């Protein structure tokens, strides 16, 4: 029994020793919770952008003088080009080779969805009115014409455009007789022969208004100075004058100037677009006459003739066209008639340039006084012609 107890004790001691030799269990760390991360901030959707406004389209229809006539077509085109630069509009022109092109060119712009159609010249009046009446939402402007234009007995759509107002057409008119009055007074003060002359392309009101003012200026000079300077080529009382019956032929301009010089004239005012350049060429080649330009300052538009250019009668068509386009761009377009005068600078005479030293201080002062009187109304073209 003792022996068995002894064996049991030995076994117990050995098992305890073996247990003591076992490695202690390693406590496993608790799994780490994932670090909290902030959800990405919600990005706001970009605000919807409005599509760019469509570009305003402007189309010019020229008279038969062409876009580079150094006169009213070119001046109107300058107004369009200035608006292209200033407002980013789209501008184009269509040239008319004959009167039948007017309606065709206007229709092309209608087909293209043009925002503003600008027609240039008295001869486009009827076709402009027809288009405006048939398309009352189409904005239009016409240079040198106003509506209504019919007179008693005139056939609407044939001899005249309309006997009613056209709210979608702006007529751009110019009181050029005021500026040509100054030119006539200047010519009377500068002539050496005692004779000056004027002629027109066609006997239409926008041409004869120049000639009328020119005659009035010469007459006023005679009244003030007790002189007898004669005007060749136009007589307001009879309505008779000299006309080449076109706005294109330089040869006709040369022939007309030669005829006037042979009659004794030494200063000529041609109101005939490019035809007048033929007169300028004759004056330059012969040295027998001086020229007064029209519409634009020929010193800039026809500098090859600056040596024989006394001044120009300015009709600021470019400003009128630019102002009209500006109103379309800004949503302020209205129809009706806008008349540009010497008071607002819409008409005037150009500087004397090469002849500035030849025009006396006295004559310059008189011209300034006349301009002021025309502005305040104390002097009028009709008033002088009626005396």
Identify the bridge partners of residue 91 per DSSP, sorted by sequence position.
58
Does 1 have pLDDT greater than 80?
no
Q: What is the pLDDT of residue 54?
A: 84
Mean pLDDT of 143-156: 95
Percentage of residues in the chain having pLDDT higher than 90 = 84
- Predicted confidence band at 5 (pLDDT cuts at 50, 70, 90)? very low
pTM beyond 0.85 = no
Query: What average pLDDT is seen over the chain?
Result: 90
Mean pLDDT of 141-146: 97
Comparison of pLDDT for 370 and 54, the residue scoring more: 370
**Do 175 and 341 touch, CB atoms closer than 8 A?**
yes
Does 4 have pLDDT greater than 70?
no
Does 110 have pLDDT greater than 50?
yes
Q: What are the Cα distances from residue 349, in Å, to 125, 160, 244, 297?
A: 27, 32, 24, 8
Does 334 have pLDDT greater than 80?
yes
Mean pLDDT of 223-228: 98
Closest CA relative to residue 214, chosen from 202, 198, 193, 191: 198
171 torsion bin: left (phi>0), alpha (psi -120 to 50), beta (else): beta
Mean pLDDT of 356-375: 98
CA–CA separation, 258 vs 288, rounded Å? Answer: 9
Does 221 have pLDDT greater than 70?
yes
176-190 vs 361-376: helix axis angle to the nearest 10? Answer: 160
CA–CA separation, 95 vs 258, rounded Å? Answer: 30
Domains in the chain, ordered, with CATH?
A: 57-174 (3.40.50.2300), 176-314+357-385 (3.40.50.2300)
Q: What is the pLDDT of residue 343?
A: 96
Does 32 have pLDDT greater than 50?
no
Phi, psi torsion values for 164, nearest 5 degrees = -130, 165
Q: What distance lies between CA 208 and its chain's CA centroid?
A: 23
Does 358 have pLDDT greater than 60?
yes
Does 12 have pLDDT greater than 50?
no
**Do 218 and 188 touch, CB atoms closer than 8 A?**
yes
CA–CA separation, 260 vs 255, rounded Å? Answer: 9
Mean pLDDT of 199-205: 96
- Predicted confidence band at 70 (pLDDT cuts at 50, 70, 90)? confident
Is the peptide bond prior to 174 cis by the omega test (within 30 degrees of 0)?
no
Mean pLDDT of 303-322: 97
Identify the bridge partners of residue 349 per DSSP, sorted by sequence position.
313
């Amino acid at each position: 029994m003792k022996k068995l107890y002894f064996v049991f004790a030995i076994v117990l001691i050995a098992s305890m020793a073996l247990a003591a030799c076992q490695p202690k269990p390693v406590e496993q760390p608790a799994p780490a919770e994932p670090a909290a991360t902030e959800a990405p901030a919600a990005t706001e959707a970009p605000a919807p952008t409005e599509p760019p406004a469509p570009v305003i389209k402007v189309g010019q229809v020229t008279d038969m003088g062409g876009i580079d006539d150094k006169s009213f077509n070119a001046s109107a085109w300058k107004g369009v080009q200035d608006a292209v630069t200033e407002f980013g509009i789209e501008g184009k022109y269509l040239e008319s080779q004959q009167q039948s092109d007017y309606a065709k060119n206007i229709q092309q712009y209608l087909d293209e969805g043009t925002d503003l159609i600008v027609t240039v010249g008295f001869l486009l009046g009827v076709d402009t009115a027809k288009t405006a009446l048939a398309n009352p939402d189409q904005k239009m402007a016409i240079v040198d014409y106003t509506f209504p234009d019919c007179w008693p007995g005139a056939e609407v759509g044939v001899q005249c455009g309309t006997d009613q107002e056209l709210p979608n057409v702006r007529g751009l008119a110019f009181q050029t007789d005021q500026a040509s009055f100054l030119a006539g007074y200047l010519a009377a003060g500068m002539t050496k022969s005692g004779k000056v002359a004027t002629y027109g392309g066609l006997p239409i009101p926008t041409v004869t208004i120049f000639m009328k003012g020119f005659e009035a200026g010469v007459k006023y000079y005679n009244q003030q100075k007790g002189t007898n300077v004669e005007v060749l080529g136009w007589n307001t009382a009879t309505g008779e004058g000299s006309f080449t019956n076109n706005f294109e032929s330089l040869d006709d301009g040369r022939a007309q100037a030669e005829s006037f010089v042979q009659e004794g004239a030494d200063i000529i005012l041609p109101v005939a677009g490019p035809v007048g350049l033929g007169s300028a060429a004759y004056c330059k080649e012969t040295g027998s006459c001086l020229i007064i330009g029209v519409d634009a300052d020929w010193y800039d538009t026809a500098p090859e003739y600056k040596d024989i250019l006394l001044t120009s009668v300015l009709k600021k068509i470019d400003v009128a066209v630019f102002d009209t386009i500006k109103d379309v761009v800004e949503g302020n377009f209205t129809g009706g008639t806008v008349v540009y005068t010497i008071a607002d600078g819409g008409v005037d005479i150009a500087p004397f340039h090469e002849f500035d030293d030849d025009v006396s201080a006295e004559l310059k002062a008189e011209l300034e006084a006349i301009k002021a009187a025309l502005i305040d109304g104390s002097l009028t073209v009709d008033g002088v012609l009626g005396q």
